[in-house]
Amino acid sequence: MYIAYATVAIVTIAYCAFSAGCDFVRFERVALAMNKAGVPRSWMPALGVPKAGAALGLLAGFWLPVIGPAAAAGLVLFFVCAVVTHLRVRDYSLGLQYPFLLLAAATLALGLVT
């Protein structure tokens, strides 16, 4: 079970680091999706911080096992809020918030059973 957790956690770390990087440099494609959801572009760097923190927390979780599930739980909460933000403005497009939420939830579930 640990191998499954480690694999999913590493993928989640990579995706979070990439997503945080896109937020920090204000990648245009991400900015357009945020505009569609009513989120100002000026918030992008601030929204990248929890993603980067979650990536670091998941990475630290390999050495301090209690931190990994806590980081994954925070990430699940973050992406639930992202989904709600999109649904609030009736944006039903299949954006990246859904796969990120599923990946974070899988990391959390596997982290809790290992």
For 88-105, how does the pLDDT look when each residue is reduced to its tens digit (9 = 90+)?
998 887 778 899 999 999
DSSP state letter for 91:
-
How many domains does one find in the chain?
1
- The two tokens of residue 51 are 């993603």
pLDDT tens column, 39-92: 999 999 999 999 999 999 999 999 999 999 999 999 999 999 999 998 899 888
Is 31 or 107 the better-scoring residue by pLDDT?
Answer: 107
Q: For residue 38, is pLDDT > 80?
A: yes
Mean pLDDT of 19-29: 94
Provide the pLDDT for residue 114: 84
Q: For residue 1, is pLDDT > 90?
A: no
Provide the pLDDT for residue 37: 87
- pTM of the entire structure? 0.91
Tell me the residue type at 8: V
Provide the pLDDT for residue 9: 97
DSSP state letter for 64:
S
* Domain extent at residue 77: 2-113
